[in-house]
Amino acid sequence: MKAQKIAPALIIANVFALIIIGITKWISLYSRDAAGVFVFSDFVIVPVLMGMITAYYWRDFGLTGREYAKYSVWNALIAVACAYFFLDEGYICLIIVSPLLMGFVIAGAFLGKAMFRNNGNRMNVSIFSLLLLITIADSLTAAPYENEVSDTMIINAPPEKVWPYVVAYEPIREKENYWLFRAGMPSPVQSTAEAYREGAGRKCIFSNGYTFDEKMTVFKPAQDLTFDIVNQPRDPEIMGHIDILRGQFILKDNGDGTTTLTGNSWYRLYVMPSWYFDAWASSVTRNVHLRVMEHIKKLSEKNV
> Would the CA dihedral through 117, 118, 119, 125 be positive or negative?
negative
Neighbours of 108 (CB within 10 A): 26
Shortest CB 187 distance to another protein, Å: 29
Closer to another protein by Cβ: residue 106 or 166: 106
Shortest CB 106 distance to another protein, Å: 4
Shortest CB 34 distance to another protein, Å: 22
Instruction: Compute the distance between CA of residue 227 and CA of residue 214 in angstroms, rounded to an integer.
Output: 6
Q: Position 102: which residue type?
A: M
Closer to another protein by Cβ: residue 73 or 218: 73
Closer to another protein by Cβ: residue 68 or 165: 68
Closer to another protein by Cβ: residue 73 or 82: 73
Closer to another protein by Cβ: residue 4 or 118: 118
Residue 224 exposed, middle or buried by CB count within 10 Å (0-12, 13-18, 19+): middle
Closer to another protein by Cβ: residue 4 or 119: 119
Shortest CB 39 distance to another protein, Å: 16
User: What's the order of all strands across the beta sheet hosting 211-220?
Assistant: 145-155, 259-269, 242-253, 224-231, 211-220, 201-206, 188-193
Shortest CB 103 distance to another protein, Å: 4
Closer to another protein by Cβ: residue 72 or 265: 72
Closer to another protein by Cβ: residue 85 or 275: 275
Q: Across the chain, where does the E strand assignment appear?
A: 145-155, 188-193, 201-206, 211-220, 224-231, 242-253, 259-269
Instruction: Compute the distance between CA of residue 56 and CA of residue 124 in angstroms, rounded to an integer.
Output: 10
Instruction: Compute the distance between CA of residue 6 and CA of residue 61 in angstroms, rounded to an integer.
Output: 9
Shortest CB 102 distance to another protein, Å: 5
Shortest CB 155 distance to another protein, Å: 36
DSSP character at residue 37: -
Shortest CB 85 distance to another protein, Å: 24
Category of 185 on φ-ψ map: left (φ > 0), alpha (ψ -120 to 50) or beta: beta
Instruction: Compute the distance between CA of residue 232 and CA of residue 204 in angstroms, rounded to an integer.
Output: 10
Question: Which residues here bind another protein, judged by CB under 8 A?
Answer: 48, 64-66, 69-70, 73, 99, 102-104, 106-107, 110-111, 114, 117-118
**Dihedral angle at the C-alpha atoms of 112, 114, 118, 123, nearest 10 degrees?**
-50
